[in-house]
Structure 1
Amino acid sequence: MSKFDEIRYFHDHEVNEKLQSVARDPMMKALMNFTFPGEDEQVWLEQFKNVHSISDFQHQFVAYAVRQILAKSSEGFTISGFDKLDKNASYLYISNHRDIVLDTSLLNLALLESGLIMTASAIGDNLVKRNFLNVLAKLNRNFLVQRGLPLRDQLTSSQVMSEYIKEQLLQENRSVWIAQREGRAKTGNDATQQGVLKMLAMAAGDQSITDYFKTLKIVPISISYEYDPTDSLKMPQLLAQHREEEYIKGKNEDFTSMLSGILGQKKRIHLHAGNVLDKELDEIAATIENKNKQLQAIAQVIDDSIIRNYKLWPTKYIAYDLLHHTDTYASQYTEQEKQLFVRRLEMRIDPSDLVSKEYFLAMYANPLVNKLKLEENL
């Protein structure tokens, strides 16, 4: 028994047995029919017999599934910044978080196509309660973040996860993906939670936080969808917060969000890999002594990179102009793009509900607002 057994993904020697255990699950059939339309069930069931590692599964099945998702629900996927990374090095990718499944799936497709080391990726255990999803996640090198624990257990769980991430990066030479915050950003404001960095720092041992973070080779990732396929699904929680009410998730809400994120229309998608955090960490170490303030400064450096490198699609400019009743950014979009966006808004929410409308537009406009603020402060 390893202390990581409760959270780890499958070892390669376990892969075939675990894959066979869900091979005939109706959800696997649906996934394979989507990935290989028109293919006889026996063909992929036979192919499963030859899958003996996570790498086999990702190369032979997952990459095809992600490409199918892109073909059916997007108008193109572009990347930048990955050519600066070392093909033999592992990195800790910290990204903004928009979509439960796709954020990490698209990053891994980018890494695969760039010849870089693919990631072990953090996923909340609340998202994989169903046995099929749990097995599928671990077959895809996801490790579990344990949610909803009592405070004392939470601390132990964070320590174990911190050590697991360290082992993956420094001993296994395996890259790791983690979102900058717990849960997706629903307002379009991308901000790193200090708690995420605190958890990562728990395995630092005798090293200073800044020295330890240098060894992890942190790369901020900016992911930008032209349309957010789950935009309307994020509204009830935002409206509950607006009314200062407690928001309670519906029974299948996470699952619905996962499916909508995968199948919903995204138009164009861009993924940018920022520079490895290095000199910034030296500067923080030289100018700030307090550990909490160091973590705050590191979070700010990550945020600045994500915001600066975030691709602003026409939808961001349209939403800003509609929100502020202006045509400041009219040169950034066409009339047709504006009409399409307005039609989408009218179909996704009740446009006569002014609060909903404001939140919906702000969700799209905030990445632009944040970039403008960043440029002002430079």
Structure 2
Amino acid sequence: MTRFDSIRPYYDSEVNEALKSSLHHPMMKAIMEFTFPEVEEEVWKEQLSKINSIREFQVTCVYQSLQRILERSSEGLTTSGFEKLAPNTSYLYISNHRDIILDTSLLNVALYDHGLVMTASAIGDNLVQKDFLLKLSKLNRNFLVQRGLSPRELLQSSKLMSEYIYHLLAEENRSVWIAQREGRTKDGNDATHPGVLKMLGMASDEKRGMDFFKKLKIVPVSISYEYDPTDALKMPQLLAHSKDEVYIKEKNEDFITLMSGIIGQKKGIHIHIGDVLDSEYEKIIAETDNNNKQVQALAQVIDDSILQSYKLWPTNFIAYDILYKTDRFTHLYDEKERQIFERRLEMRIDVDNDTMREGFLAMYANPVVNKLKYTNDL
């Protein structure tokens, strides 16, 4: 088991010591005062020092923090499709990725509420450079995706992660969450990167790759936010890409984005669970015996599920109508909602910059564009 030590979360036997060493950290104090404002510091410190498992920490602390975040920054979380999942069963959730922390955290809230196995979740090691954040992520059952590696190191790291994910699913009966691509979607176009699937397949000893994927019990997940609290923060990177420039992050940019996503206003949030992939594999095998084409076909199956089930909000329809200068979806929002969205646009970006304006609008409009590929009945 020591081969996973560089990426794994804490074992339960390590939780108590990690919590005790974090009791006096100012960020732990801020988290606990935000979550339990009516509880005295000595009381929550004593309660934390008695916790001995990740599940206990998640249920007594993390879950409560997320409820407070939902109260303060949204109109609540809605869900659909969770009835398809069986209790005491591990699944590999592959989802679109909009928010660094909340995508996976809110999925776990919904899994807990439905009495289902919660996930171990992938997180980039660039996001947990600070010692406290690394401890907190390991306490919340995150495992590390190593970034900034050479090609040779990347190959070794990918194989290790693949083996760890399969170990969790097959040996520990632990569900796993992983994003469909590296990094968050910046332009609203959710697409599964075949490289993610190739990484997952590295642990396979099956003659047919699709037989291995079937064992993973893959579940496509779509998560949508009515307002993306980090929408304006994504603009500099989109601008750089529009000029074919390499985008270099500012110092602490990841942390600022992380915090903005957590506390910023989101309004509506919805998570949809797609069907567990099953019969799709035989269809893919029947169509081609080329491994690369099979992986691409599987990525398309996941995309089809995510894009079709993505919940659209008034903000998406408003952005579409503004961007494409139509009134096609005016029946799906009212004038007040449009005014609020236009005001947000004016306040958060330079609307005289056409690239920035179009990028901001496209971020919200593209989910509509993508859904129209499947149906005109919106």
TM-score band, normalised by shorter chain: over 0.9
Q: Distance in 2 between matches of 1:38 and 1:230?
A: 30
Q: Distance in 2 between matches of 1:120 and 1:65?
A: 18
Q: Tell me by how many angstroms 1:245 deviates.
A: 1.2
1:299 — aligned with what?
299
1:100 — aligned with what?
100
What does 1:1-378 align with in structure 2 at a 5 Å threshold?
2-375=2-375
For 2:301, the aligned partner's letter is V
SS at match of 1:144: strand
Greater CA drift, 240-249 or 203-212 = 203-212
SS at match of 2:177: strand
Q: Tell me by how many angstroms 1:288 deviates.
A: 1.1
For 2:373, the aligned partner's letter is K
CA deviation string 1:321-353 (max 9, x = no partner): 000111110001011110110011111111122
Q: Tell me by how many angstroms 1:243 deviates.
A: 1.2
Q: Distance in 1 between matches of 2:308 and 2:163?
A: 31
Q: Tell me by how many angstroms 1:355 deviates.
A: 1.5
Residues 78 and 270 of structure 2 are in contact (CA less than 8 Å); yes or no, is this contact kept in structure 1?
yes
SS at match of 2:2: coil
For 1:201, the aligned partner's letter is G
Q: Tell me by how many angstroms 1:22 deviates.
A: 1.2
Q: Distance in 2 between matches of 1:254 and 1:282?
A: 41
CA deviation string 1:268-302 (max 9, x = no partner): 00000000011111100121100000000000000
Q: Tell me by how many angstroms 1:375 deviates.
A: 3.0
Q: Distance in 2 between matches of 1:50 and 1:275?
A: 39
Q: Tell me by how many angstroms 1:33 deviates.
A: 1.0
CA deviation string 1:32-60 (max 9, x = no partner): 11111232111110101220000010010
Number of residue equivalences = 376
SS at match of 1:72: helix
For 2:112, the aligned partner's letter is L
CA deviation string 1:75-117 (max 9, x = no partner): 1110000011001210000000000000000000000000000
Q: Distance in 2 between matches of 1:334 and 1:60?
A: 40
For 2:191, the aligned partner's letter is A
Over the matched positions of the two proteins, sequence identity in percent amounts to 63
Unaligned runs of 5+ in 2: none
Stretches of 4+ moved more than 2 A in 1? none
For 2:230, the aligned partner's letter is T
Residues 206 and 212 of structure 2 are in contact (CA less than 8 Å); yes or no, is this contact kept in structure 1?
no
Q: Tell me by how many angstroms 1:238 deviates.
A: 0.1
For 1:278, the aligned partner's letter is D
Q: Distance in 2 between matches of 1:235 and 1:279?
A: 40
Q: Distance in 2 between matches of 1:206 and 1:218?
A: 17
For 2:34, the aligned partner's letter is F
CA deviation string 1:215-241 (max 9, x = no partner): 100000000000000000000000011
Q: Distance in 1 between matches of 2:207 and 2:40?
A: 55
SS at match of 1:272: strand
TM-score of the aligned structures, taking structure 1 as reference length: 0.98
Q: Tell me by how many angstroms 1:373 deviates.
A: 1.5
Unaligned runs of 5+ in 1: none
Q: Distance in 2 between matches of 1:268 and 1:39?
A: 29
RMSD across aligned positions (CA) = 0.9
Residues 95 and 223 of structure 2 are in contact (CA less than 8 Å); yes or no, is this contact kept in structure 1?
yes
Q: Distance in 1 between matches of 2:30 and 2:345?
A: 30
Q: Distance in 2 between matches of 1:196 and 1:7?
A: 17
Residues 79 and 270 of structure 2 are in contact (CA less than 8 Å); yes or no, is this contact kept in structure 1?
yes
Q: Distance in 1 between matches of 2:145 and 2:18?
A: 20
Q: Distance in 1 between matches of 2:2 and 2:285?
A: 35
